[in-house]
Structure 1
Amino acid sequence: MGTPLAKKNFAVDLGGQHFWMDCDDGQYVSTSFKQSLCGSAPCSVAKATCDGACFPGYNRPGCNKEKCHVNIDNTLIGGGFDVGFISLDKISIQSTEGSKYGPYVGISDFIFACANDRGVGNLARGANGMVGLGSNQIALPTQLSSAFGRSFRRNFAICLPSTSKSNGVIFFGDSPYVFYPGYNTSKAIDVSSRFQHTKLYINTAFTGSSVVTRGPHRRTTSSRSHLLWALVKAFDKEIAVWNVSKVAPVAPLQIAIP
């Protein structure tokens, strides 16, 4: 991200509605960085608000009542914890033809929320923020589709690593998603041919709650849990055939299944 380009690490939120990052204390320096004024197109796309979100003690870049903001979510701690100012900058992502790395491709004026460092302490070590893969207009899949044309569909596929010594990968856009079982390049397979599909129903009723106060403390609650239990049970059943060891829960990703 930025100018000059600097590598950033993010936690991934499958249903997250925003791409947000810590911009506090000189952690983010870029000559192409811009913040959006109230009434601008980026503020409108992000469905942001303008109600004077510069709280005492929050000295993030460009904080003033003319900048629009959204309530950002750290779902690892149960919901919203702060506001993020709608900002724009360049991003660069590596392309692929499905089987090997391609060149990096850039997007100018990518929209994200510029927050402070209160939430990143609960993320994975070294994470600078969270990438939302939800369905709204400033989630990453939607912005990629807008930048590269409607033929670049709002699809993504995630491959989780089976050991801590290997990396996972996220594909954006359509297949092929090519892998080499056992690293044998003569046996390349497009794993998308093995996918099973079901109709996606959009939840139009918000089932959790998020409370953001203007004091130094923030309190949040959320309820998504029955769907998560079903997912974890199904994952445990499928991964068992691969003879993968199951480790003890690690905070903050501790899930209790009844």
Structure 2
Amino acid sequence: MDALSKTTFQKPNIQTYKMYLILQLLVIISAFISLEHGPITVYAKPYTSAVASVNKHTDGAKPLYSVQMLTTYINTMEYLPGNFLIDIDAPIIWHDCIVQENMYHGSCPPNTLCTSPVSCEESECSEVRTFYSYKNPSCPPEIDGYSSSRWGSCTCGVNVLNPMTSSCDQPLLNYDEFTLRTSDGRNVFSNGNYGTFPKAACAPSSSVASFPANVSGVMAFSSSLYAFPASSYPPLKRTFALCFPSKTSAPGVLFLGAGPYYLLPQSNVDVRSYLSYTPLLTRPDSFDTHPDSFGYFIRVNSILIKKRSISVPANATTKLSTMDPYTTLRTDIYNSVVRRFSMVTKRLRPAKPVAPFGLCFSTSTNGLRVPDIDFNLPDGKKWTISTANSIKQITSEVACLAFVDGGATSEPAIVIGTFQFEDNFLVFDLVNSTFGFSSSLLRKKTSCSNFNFTLTYNA
């Protein structure tokens, strides 16, 4: 037997033996504690967020963005990916599915997503109808339906706004499930899922016929208690981050949870270090003029273009929108912005305006560089709109200022649209009512398409 083997099998001394007994006792005590009170912290999954890909769609009348989440086929109990339009104003989630009381194996039609209905007699039904359904004189009265199940329960119809047709739809309120992958902000865990169980509504396939290809519903990310962020639970907080891609070929990313967040190639730089913050105003003074809104508002004090400040009236509100493709300005603000921008770009050759834009330039396929446009916010904060987010390339020869005249009575006075969101990292902290923004990530040598979606096993 060699020296190493002899050392291995030597009888331990009395001190070593005592330490061994103490360690064994600690292990036994820990086991009893874990049985009584649940898993001890050392074995908790190290996730800090749930994560999903964000896709850009250009096959409709306007660019739209969807998030991919997992739903469940009832017949096979398998996870099924689904794409849902991201709407930060909608009060409730709704999508293409069927409500069905008898949820036994094999009862759901093939290739169909089935969910369980909320009864019209439940408190959630009256609550949604009273506070969270779409209110418009053109909407039909909300009605109850009756299922053909052996219980004979009534179903709960609720009004929603179809963002593609601007018309009312009346899907049925249901108990739903959506699942995302867990993450530490840097990696996506292949063996970790984060399931949420919000109330949602089932609409017929005809309601989503005008949606982009492979998009089957609306995922609400508003401040509503029936929107997706409200269904989060510990360890995740009611915080979500959006990072919209500028191209259809590579996805952006959505995080549920307060971070950290990482993008390649700076894999060790938390994106939160790039952010500035401003208060979220979920119920501005002018809320009475748009009572259906559960969206997010911020205060813009002025707009700065090459050292010249354009004042924004103190009573003007600024809304954030994932459904408006370009920033819309009330006519008085729009005219001032266009006038100033025209002056600082006199060296550029003008081009005939292309609707819906009012100021366009002759350019080449290489594009052009123009001065930044700064939204000056409270407490000296500044959201910088750089060339990538202010100039829209229309053709190889024409580019336009990507701001739109909203009309003389537009309310809110400013609506910041998705073109200005692209490749900007945006954080909606609903716990502290703050909005975090990075300005263009391109200036940080990264983009919204640089999250690493490669699955990693988390032991």
Query: TM-score, normalization: structure 1?
Result: 0.69
* Superposition deviation, residue 61 in structure 1: 9.1
Q: Counterpart in 2 of 1:119?
A: 207
In structure 2, the residue corresponding to 1:7 is in which secondary structure?
strand
How far, CA to CA, are the matches of 2:155 and 2:385 in structure 1? 47
The amino acid across from 2:82 in the alignment is: K
The amino acid across from 2:273 in the alignment is: S
* Superposition deviation, residue 8 in structure 1: 1.0
1:187-246: CA deviation from partner (whole Å, max 9, x where unpaired): x32112211211111236353488xxxxxxxxxxxxxx974415x98799624258x983
Among candidates 119, 123, 130, match of residue 37 of structure 1: 119
The amino acid across from 1:91 in the alignment is: F
Structure 1 segment 125-140 matched on structure 2, within 5 A: 125-140=213-228
Bigger CA radius of gyration: 2
Structure 1 segment 1-258 matched on structure 2, within 5 A: 1-2=71-72, 3=74, 4=77, 5-23=79-97, 28-30=112-114, 33-43=115-125, 46-47=128-129, 52-54=143-145, 66-78=154-166, 80-102=167-189, 103-107=192-196, 109-144=197-232, 148-149=233-234, 152-181=236-265, 185=267, 188-203=268-283, 205-208=287-290, 227=319, 228-229=327-328, 238-240=385-387, 246-248=392-394, 257-258=404-405
C-alpha contact 1:69 1:84 (8 A) present in aligned 2: yes
**Moved beyond 4 Å, runs of 4+:** 24-27, 47-51, 59-62, 225-228, 232-237
1:137-164: CA deviation from partner (whole Å, max 9, x where unpaired): 11000012xxx23x53221111112333
In structure 1, the residue corresponding to 2:255 is in which secondary structure?
strand
Question: Which structure shows the higher strand fraction?
Answer: 2
* Superposition deviation, residue 92 in structure 1: 1.6
The amino acid across from 1:160 in the alignment is: F
Residues 1:180 and 1:256: Cα distance change in structure 2 (over 3 Å): closer
* Superposition deviation, residue 123 in structure 1: 2.2
In structure 2, the residue corresponding to 1:158 is in which secondary structure?
strand
How far, CA to CA, are the matches of 1:51 and 1:162 in structure 2? 39
How far, CA to CA, are the matches of 2:384 and 2:279 in structure 1? 22
Residues 1:51 and 1:157: Cα distance change in structure 2 (over 3 Å): closer
C-alpha contact 2:116 2:175 (8 A) present in aligned 1: yes
C-alpha contact 2:144 2:154 (8 A) present in aligned 1: no
* Superposition deviation, residue 166 in structure 1: 1.2
How far, CA to CA, are the matches of 1:234 and 1:112 in structure 2? 38
1:37-90: CA deviation from partner (whole Å, max 9, x where unpaired): 123254355346895345xxxx9998x982122211223433x52112111133
Q: Counterpart in 2 of 1:218?
A: none
Quote the sequence identity (%). 21
In structure 1, the residue corresponding to 2:230 is in which secondary structure?
helix
Residues 1:61 and 1:99: Cα distance change in structure 2 (over 3 Å): farther
Higher relative contact order (CA 8 A, sep 6+): 1
How far, CA to CA, are the matches of 1:42 and 1:136 in structure 2? 13
* Superposition deviation, residue 96 in structure 1: 0.9
How far, CA to CA, are the matches of 1:67 and 1:170 in structure 2? 33
C-alpha contact 2:160 2:171 (8 A) present in aligned 1: yes
Number of aligned positions between the proteins: 220
C-alpha contact 1:15 1:132 (8 A) present in aligned 2: yes
In structure 1, the residue corresponding to 2:272 is in which secondary structure?
helix
C-alpha contact 2:164 2:210 (8 A) present in aligned 1: yes
How far, CA to CA, are the matches of 1:166 and 1:88 in structure 2? 32
Query: TM-score, normalization: structure 2?
Result: 0.41
